[in-house]
Structure 1
Amino acid sequence: MESTKTQQPSTMTTQPQKEHDWLQKLVGEWTYEIEVKMGSDLSVEKATGIESVRSLGGLWILAEAQGEMPGCKAATTMMTLGYDPQQQRYVGTWIGSMMTHLWVYDGGELDAAERVLTLDSEGPAMAGEGKMARYKDAIEFKSDDWRVMTSQVLGDDGQWHQFMTVNYWQKK
């Protein structure tokens, strides 16, 4: 007896799209140098480390970094990034061994030239006091083996203020 039921495509099998392919440029072994403007005098602190980025099914990237972080010595961080076709935006998370906040990227867009991915999130304000603030991380490919991530926070003055720059170089 043949079934009259129509077969529906499985929601558990998704093929990577061009937006997922862009994320695959991040895959590999990287070294990094981070510069953070800290304190009221905005003094610059630097640190270095390594990052290992792998693909999960061609749909997600998992980036684990280990090294020093300005203001807290050794740290391990983990970033996940993917693309949600239904929302038509990049999504992801970021966690670090130096804090308990789960950062959620919920509004990522790729620029028209497909060189810069900008990710929006919310997290604890740098001034503390239990306040939350809006943040923006931008990942820009300068070449296939060099990328730069800049981080900005929306200040009380309504302006975006850059506080961190990370240069990544892919290991050969």
Structure 2
Amino acid sequence: MNIKGRMLGLVLLSCSVGSTAVAQMATPSAEHKNLAAEVGVWDANLQMWMAPDAPPMPSKGVETNKMMGDFWIISEFKSDMGGMTFTGHGQHGYDPAKKKYVGTWIDSMSPYLSTQEGEFDAKSNTLTLLATGRNMMTGEIEKSKMVSKYIDENTKVFEIYMPVEGEEGKWWKSLQIDYKRRAKSDAKLQ
């Protein structure tokens, strides 16, 4: 066997040993199992505020969530916002090393990726994520707070808060989405 053949054999062996070890070590936690509660098709009623004192702009949308393996929830959101089609994709999971829920978000209105990290409060049944991204108009780094309140297994409220300029620790609501999960027989993918 030549040197290339030996190297290829070693690489394949190390990959198979590594993947076996990872498969044995990677066990979903309770936090990962909680993510499965998001699976399904959700009808969405939106209200968006462009500024703290602006009137809300209503819209409707649909969110479809699927599990990718046992660790990640993959979301697709579609809506018509002011006559423009909006599509967004999120990936959310739980990072056991950080002991935090984590995620990313991209959408059709912005060239920038948003990253999220936060915690779930079991008492209030609320997931709060702090997000870092860029303002789609200015390109400047901006923070936001995303709050998901689970009312029951088929109802949730999602809100995004933006920081009040010049007032550290104060937030104003820029988005609220009231979700209702479709019955499984109605859960046709959009």
| One-letter code aligned to 1:27 | V
Deviations 1:5-52 (A, max 9, x none): xx9982355111100111111000111011011247412101111111
Q: Which runs of 4+ in 1 moved over 6 A?
A: none
Is 2:129 aligned against 1:119?
Answer: yes
CA contact (8 A) 1:72 1:98 kept: no
Unaligned runs of 5+ in 1: 1-6
Partners of 1:11 and 1:72 lie apart in 2 by 47
TM-score by length of 1: 0.86
Report the counterpart of residue 38 of structure 1 in structure 2. Answer: 50
Aligned 1:62-141 pairs, distance under 5 A: 62-69=74-81, 71=82, 73-105=84-116, 107-113=117-123, 115-125=125-135, 128-141=137-150
What is the CA–CA distance in structure 2 between the aligned matches of 1:63 and 1:129, rounded to whole Å?
Answer: 26
Task: Kindly tell me the number of residue pairs found equivalent between the two proteins.
Answer: 163
Percentage identity across paired residues of the two chains: 28
More helix by share: 2
**Comparing both structures, which one devotes a greater share of its residues to strand?**
1
| Partner in structure 2 of residue 162 of structure 1 | 173
Whole-angstrom CA distance in 2 between matches of 1:40 and 1:109: 26
Structure index of larger Rg: 2
Unaligned runs of 5+ in 2: 1-16, 184-190
Is residue 2:50 matched to residue 1:22?
no
Amino acid at match of 1:120: L
CA 114–24 in structure 1, closer or farther in 2 if over 3 Å, else same: farther
Report the TM-score when normalising by structure 2: 0.78
